[in-house]
């Protein structure tokens, strides 16, 4: 008899960032690729008091318990999921979960501790070490993250399975090109950055680029926001200037910004996967990325690279893309081909295969 399959849907109560994007898109894909030969059709388990949008993937949603947040996840959720397998897609999971898979996206709290509040670091360290003592199946999203997590947690790399992420969500959208007019932007006359103010996102390294672009009458456009409940306050960061900060945008607006940018720059010092770079490639935007392991693994030869701590190299690499139309076109083609291999349906099938393995164990 097949066990029930539940999805920890606490992510539906949280602001959308990379982890929540992963959880939302892979859950939607599970709804698409699921078949009667799989485990029973997944059910989304969600805090009852939360005000949330409809769940993804046309899956049944059940409101559970009266608590919220971490307390809900540790008490109400495992009680409801005790008769099945529980998918936890966003770095956390109930310590008392009986049969579960847990996706840990990166080892940022260990490798980049200054980027996170001490409370956040402490909770994650305790939680992850306790999860290692359970029979939870651990999953991550890149070979780089697998090695990092294994090293910091003191386990063999084989303790973690690796599944891909996807980028086809951005390709399916009808781009809202009106966003360009709203912000006074012209096609090919701006360079795009997507990120927040966490130190490892490294926006401070873009000052030389901002000045170089301004001298060419090209805008540096930065979109994104800061989640202060997770990251440390960033009062000491020197932000690039001149730059056009436009805050959070909708997915359809982001799609248009990718499609019309001269180049996308990703200066991060640390990533577990690097989804914005793959989104940009999927939209046909040339990518200049930090020369860090995760981005080289994911982008391969479809991007150009510069050291994240060399502002002059970042600026000169972007200038090379802008000044060489043939190179930019070649990067667009390579990027779209590379991004085509990253789909949420593929990721969902890989995750369901792990569920089957967990059931057979």
Q: Are residue 20 and residue 157 in the same domain, yes or no?
A: yes
Residue 85 near residue 361, CB atoms below 8 Å: no
| Confidence band, pLDDT 50/70/90 cuts, at residue 38 | low
For the chain, percent of residues with pLDDT exceeding 70: 91
Q: What is the pLDDT of residues 232-289, one digit of tens each?
A: 444 556 788 899 999 889 999 999 999 999 999 999 999 999 999 999 999 999 999 9
Task: Convert the chain into a string of H (helix), E (strand) and C (coil).
Answer: CCCEEEEECHHHHCCCCHHHHHHHHHHHHHHHHCCCCCCCCCEEEEECCCCCCCCHHHCEEEEECCCCHHHHHHHHHHHHCCCEEEEECCCCCCCCCCCEEEECCCCHHHHCHHHECHHHHHHHHHHHHHHHCCCCEEEECCHHHHHHHHHHHCCCHHHEEECCCCCHHHHCCCCCCHHHHHCCCCCCCEEEEECCCCHHHCHHHHHHHHHHHHHCCCEEEEECCCCCCCECCCCCCCCCCCCEECCCCCHHHHHHHHHHCCEEEECCCCCCCCHHHHHHHHCCCCEEEECCHHHHHHHHHHCEEECCCCHHHHHHHHHHHHHCHHHHHHHHHHHHHHHCCCCHHHHHHHHHHHHHHHHHC
Question: What's the total number of domains in the chain?
Answer: 2
Q: Are residue 161 and residue 187 in the same domain, yes or no?
A: no
For the chain, give the mean pLDDT.
90
Q: Are residue 20 and residue 115 in the same domain, yes or no?
A: yes
Neighbouring-strand partners of residue 307: none
| Confidence band, pLDDT 50/70/90 cuts, at residue 22 | very high
Q: Are residue 134 and residue 183 in the same domain, yes or no?
A: no
Enumerate residues 6+ apart whose C-beta is below 8 A from 235.
none
pLDDT of residue 200: 84
pLDDT of residue 45: 94
Residue that wins the pLDDT comparison between 40 and 216: 216
pLDDT of residue 196: 77
Q: Are residue 98 and residue 214 in the same domain, yes or no?
A: no
Nearest one of 231, 163, 129, 160 to 23, comparing CA atoms: 163
pLDDT of residue 221 exceeding 60, the answer is yes
* CATH code for the domain of 293: 3.40.50.2000
Q: Are residue 146 and residue 270 in the same domain, yes or no?
A: no
pLDDT of residue 94: 96
Q: Are residue 188 and residue 297 in the same domain, yes or no?
A: yes
Q: Are residue 289 and residue 219 in the same domain, yes or no?
A: yes
pLDDT of residue 237: 60
Q: Are residue 82 and residue 192 in the same domain, yes or no?
A: no
Q: The domain containing residue 272 runs over which residues?
A: 168-339
Q: What is the pLDDT of residues 162-208, one digit of tens each?
A: 998 999 999 999 999 999 999 999 999 999 999 877 788 899 999 99
Q: How far is CA 48 from the centre of its chain?
A: 26
Residue 341 near residue 354, CB atoms below 8 Å: no
Q: Which residue has the tokens 């698409």?
A: 32
| Confidence band, pLDDT 50/70/90 cuts, at residue 55 | low
Burial 111-120 (b: 16+ CB within 10 A, else e): bbeebbeeeb
* Mean pLDDT of the region 108-128: 88
| Confidence band, pLDDT 50/70/90 cuts, at residue 36 | low
pLDDT of residue 54: 60
Bond into 2 cis (ω within 30): no
Q: Which residue has the tokens 């997944």?
A: 42
* Mean pLDDT of the region 214-236: 70
pLDDT of residue 229: 43
Q: Are residue 89 and residue 212 in the same domain, yes or no?
A: no
Q: Are residue 262 and residue 160 in the same domain, yes or no?
A: no
* Mean pLDDT of the region 321-338: 97
pLDDT of residue 93: 96
How far is the C-alpha of 319 from the C-alpha of 140, rounded, in Å?
35
Q: Are residue 159 and residue 272 in the same domain, yes or no?
A: no
Residue 320 near residue 286, CB atoms below 8 Å: no
């Amino acid at each position: 008899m097949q066990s029930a399959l539940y999805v920890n849907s606490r992510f539906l109560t949280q602001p959308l960032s990379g982890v929540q994007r992963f959880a939302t898109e892979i859950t939607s894909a599970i709804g698409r690729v699921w078949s009667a030969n799989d485990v029973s059709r997944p059910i989304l388990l969600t805090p009852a008091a939360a005000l949330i949008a409809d769940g993804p993937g046309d899956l049944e949603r059940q409101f559970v318990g009266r608590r919220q947040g971490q307390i809900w996840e540790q008490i109400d959720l495992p009680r409801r999921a005790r008769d099945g397998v529980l998918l936890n897609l966003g770095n956390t999971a109930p310590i008392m979960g009986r049969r579960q898979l847990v996706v840990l996206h990166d080892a940022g709290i260990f490798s980049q501790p200054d980027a996170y509040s001490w409370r956040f670091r402490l909770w994650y360290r305790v939680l992850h070490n306790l999860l290692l003592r359970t029979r939870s199946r651990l999953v991550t999203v890149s070979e780089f993250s697998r090695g990092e997590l294994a090293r910091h947690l003191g386990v063999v790399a084989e303790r973690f399975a690796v599944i891909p992420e996807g980028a086809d969500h951005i390709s399916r959208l009808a781009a809202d090109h009106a966003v360009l007019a709203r912000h006074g932007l012209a096609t090919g006359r701006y360079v795009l950055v997507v990120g927040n103010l966490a130190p490892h996102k490294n926006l401070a390294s873009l000052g030389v680029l901002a000045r170089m672009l301004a001298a060419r009458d090209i805008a540096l456009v930065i979109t994104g926001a800061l989640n202060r409940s997770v990251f440390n306050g960033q009062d000491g960061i020197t932000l690039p200037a001149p730059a056009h900060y436009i805050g959070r945008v909708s997915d359809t607006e982001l799609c248009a910004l990718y499609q019309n940018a001269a180049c996308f720059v990703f200066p991060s010092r640390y990533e577990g996967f690097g989804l914005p770079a793959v989104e940009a490639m999927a939209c046909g935007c040339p990518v200049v990325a930090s020369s860090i392991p995760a981005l080289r693994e994911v982008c391969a030869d479809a991007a150009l690279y510069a050291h994240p701590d060399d502002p002059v190299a970042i600026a000169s690499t972007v200038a090379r893309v802008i000044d060489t139309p043939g190179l930019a076109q070649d990067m667009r083609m390579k990027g779209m081909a590379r991004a085509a291999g990253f789909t949420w349906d593929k990721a969902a099938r890989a995750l369901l295969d792990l569920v089957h393995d967990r059931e057979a164990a």
